[in-house]
């Protein structure tokens, strides 16, 4: 079996990053050099028997596509596009903040065969009907889709309620927009991991990336992961008119199993950080150290009293604009990551600055942004030194700030978050995704993963029996591992 690794690293290459972090503590700048910590060994992706996708999943997808196209099963290629979690860096990517993320061993599978002409023919395991269009069409932005005034939500909401072929057309739009010549269509079948769409794990970004990789493979295009991050941003920001940042697609395209991805969403610089155990022994069984819990709330639609994702982004931009105007830099792009904003905030007392310059809601958004950036910086140090306990405490603090300062999360999600924090063996927990629906994530000691999952199922059933009943008991809380980046798997 051949694997085309989207991350593009060659087996055996050693890469040392000189990673300088500036930590802001008590209005002083402290520089820490982690160049030694972040030296690691990259290996070409292989199909681990315990990894995703399984051989049986691949065979099932190939059989379906071969039947659709009337071709041999050996002709079928499969894109494995993983879902992601963001342990630290919640809600700051759209402001150019620094985030952490990792792919998980669940995601979207897109089996496909290059068609003999320009036609794209798609079917889905989750959605009805068949999508057909030609790659010769000139695709225009579709961001005028009607969205409820009070529910301007994240991209997975759009994916769920609109024609499910929009992301395939969006991929064609992005490729055309950047001057790529696309002449070859695909015949494909798309399916996500059972029950995980609309769960806050960035299923929509995984779908967009899957279509990009399939169209690029069918048309023999060589595209870097960094280029595909930009292409998927075009799908979401320009084609669909969403205001999200680049965290999701970056995690999907840049992750490596066992590593924590750190990305500056303003400069696009990124690093992969291994834990000390993995630096010492590349063959260590990662699953013996920690597991990832996915706990589902049962909420698949944002509640109508939530203002939604796009409004929160606008509030952050407004806070940045006011702070920049106050410092005499009103002409600068209104992002909280802007150096002028950063300098203003930390030249003065944080709370005093917000209270004097911003109305209460905007002050909370700004406080979340700056405090979350500091949590990311501290979290990178904790991860690199192997302190999962400290890393977990920061995750929990991130979840609390999301509730109190970013003001996202419905009552069921907040209840689920509190249950996870108190579960045996859990290092830390927070919402996943935009935080208006879906699931919570937790990092848990691998030895206590089963016990913690049972505790969460039992306690959530007590306080939200109706929502908990929407999931089969064995699906309500899943135990996962970190995974590899998106890739095309050949027969």
pLDDT 10s digits, 52-70 = 999 999 999 999 999 999 9
Instruction: Of 302-316, 324-338, 475-489, give the lowest mean pLDDT range.
Output: 302-316
Pairing outcome for strands 119-124 and 186-192: parallel
Residue 19 has pLDDT above 80, yes or no: no
Instruction: Of 98-107, 192-201, 383-392, give the lowest mean pLDDT range.
Output: 192-201
- pLDDT score at 30: 37
pLDDT level of residue 187 (50, 70, 90 thresholds): very high
Dist. CA 375–CA 377, nearest whole Å: 5
Residue reference for tokens 């990305």: 263
Mean pLDDT of 248-275: 92
Contacts of 10 (CB under 8 A, 6+ apart): 42, 44
pTM to 2 decimal places: 0.81
Contacts of 480 (CB under 8 A, 6+ apart): 104, 105, 106, 291, 292, 293, 294
- pLDDT score at 190: 96
Instruction: Of 212-216, 345-349, 421-425, 473-477, give the lowest mean pLDDT range.
Output: 345-349
Topology given in CATH for the domain delimited by 55-141+163-284+484-489: Ribosomal Protein S5; domain 2 (3.30.230)
pLDDT level of residue 463 (50, 70, 90 thresholds): very high
- pLDDT score at 357: 78
pLDDT level of residue 340 (50, 70, 90 thresholds): low
- pLDDT score at 22: 36
CATH value of 296-480 in 3.20.20.70, 3.90.1150.10, 3.30.70.890, 3.40.50.10470: 3.30.70.890
Task: For residue 262, give the nearest of 32, 50, 63, 93 by alpha carbon.
Answer: 93
Query: In the predicted model, what is the mean pLDDT of the chain?
Result: 81
Mean pLDDT of 341-355: 56
Residues of the chain with CATH 3.30.70.890: 296-480
pLDDT level of residue 414 (50, 70, 90 thresholds): very high
Percent of all residues in the chain with a pLDDT value above 70, rounded to a whole number = 75
Dist. CA 268–CA 233, nearest whole Å: 13
pLDDT level of residue 396 (50, 70, 90 thresholds): very high
pLDDT level of residue 321 (50, 70, 90 thresholds): very high
Catalytic residue at 163? no
Q: Which of 117, 248, 450, 474 is catalytic?
A: 248
Residue 279 has pLDDT above 90, yes or no: no
Q: pLDDT of 2-16, one tens digit each?
A: 444 443 333 333 223
- pLDDT score at 344: 56
Task: For residue 483, give the nearest of 296, 233, 292, 217 by alpha carbon.
Answer: 292
Radius of gyration, CA atoms only, the chain: 22
Residue 161 has pLDDT above 60, yes or no: no
- More confident: 89 or 342: 89
Instruction: Of 37-46, 72-81, 114-123, give the lowest mean pLDDT range.
Output: 37-46
- pLDDT score at 331: 81
Report the b/e string of 55-72 with b at 16+ CB within 10 A.
eebbebbbebbbebbeee
Half-sphere exposure of 263 (CA within 13 A, CB side): 29
Answer whether 302's CB lies under 8 Å from 151's CB.
yes
Residues of the chain with CATH 3.30.230.10: 55-141+163-284+484-489
CA torsion, ordered 419, 420, 423, 429, to nearest 10 deg: -140
Instruction: Of 27-41, 120-134, 351-365, give the lowest mean pLDDT range.
Output: 27-41
Residue 89 has pLDDT above 60, yes or no: yes
Mean pLDDT of 392-420: 95
Instruction: Of 390-404, 429-443, 473-487, give the lowest mean pLDDT range.
Output: 429-443
- pLDDT score at 280: 54
């Amino acid at each position: 079996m051949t694997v085309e690794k989207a991350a593009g690293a060659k087996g055996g290459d050693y890469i040392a990053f000189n990673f300088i972090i500036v930590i802001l503590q008590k209005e002083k700048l402290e520089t820490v050099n982690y160049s030694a910590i972040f030296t690691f060994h990259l290996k070409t992706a292989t199909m681990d028997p315990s990894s995703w996708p399984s051989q049986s999943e691949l065979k099932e997808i190939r059989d379906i596509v071969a039947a659709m196209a009337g071709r041999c099963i050996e002709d079928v290629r499969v894109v494995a596009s993983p879902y992601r979690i963001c342990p630290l860096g919640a809600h700051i990517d759209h402001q150019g903040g620094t985030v952490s993320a990792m792919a998980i061993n669940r995601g979207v599978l897109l089996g496909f065969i290059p068609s003999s002409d320009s036609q794209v023919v798609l079917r889905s395991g989750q959605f009805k009907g068949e999508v057909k269009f030609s790659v010769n069409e000139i695709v225009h932005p579709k961001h005028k889709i009607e969205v409820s005034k009070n529910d301007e939500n994240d991209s997975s909401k759009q994916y769920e309620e609109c024609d499910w072929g929009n992301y395939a057309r969006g991929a064609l739009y992005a490729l055309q927009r950047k001057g790529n010549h696309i002449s070859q269509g695909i015949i494909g079948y798309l399916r996500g991991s059972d029950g995980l769409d609309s769960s806050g794990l960035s299923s929509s970004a995984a779908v967009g990336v899957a279509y990009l990789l399939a169209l690029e493979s069918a048309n023999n295009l060589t595209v870097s992961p960094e280029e595909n991050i930009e292409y998927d941003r075009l799908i979401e920001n320009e084609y669909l008119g969403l205001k999200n940042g680049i965290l999701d697609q970056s995690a999907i395209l840049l992750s490596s199993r066992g590593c924590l991805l750190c990305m500056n969403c303003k400069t696009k610089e990124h690093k992969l950080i291994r834990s000390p155990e993995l630096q010492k022994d590349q063959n260590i069984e990662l699953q013996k150290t920690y597991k990832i819990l996915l706990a589902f709330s049962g909420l698949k639609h944002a509640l109508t009293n939530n203002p939604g994702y796009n409004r929160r982004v606008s509030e952050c931009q407004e806070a940045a604009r006011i702070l920049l105007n106050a410092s005499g830099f009103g002409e600068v792009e209104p992002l909280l990551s802007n150096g002028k904003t950063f300098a203003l905030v930390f030249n003065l007392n944080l709370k005093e600055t917000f209270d004097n310059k911003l109305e209460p809601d905007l002050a909370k958004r700004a406080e979340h942004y700056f405090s979350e950036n500091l949590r990311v910086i501290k979290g990178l140090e904790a991860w690199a030194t192997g302190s999962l306990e400290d890393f977990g405490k920061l995750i929990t603090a991130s979840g609390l700030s999301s509730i109190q300062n970013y003001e996202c999360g419905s009552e069921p999600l907040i209840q689920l978050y509190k249950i996870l924090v108190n579960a045996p063996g859990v290092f830390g927990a927070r919402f996943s995704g935009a935080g208006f629906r879906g699931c919570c994530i937790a990092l848990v000691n691998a030895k206590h993963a089963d016990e913690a999952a049972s505790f969460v199922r039992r306690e959530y059933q007590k306080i939200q029996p109706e929502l908990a009943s929407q999931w089969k008991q064995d699906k309500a809380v899943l135990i996962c591992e970190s995974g590899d980046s998106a890739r095309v798997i050949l027969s």
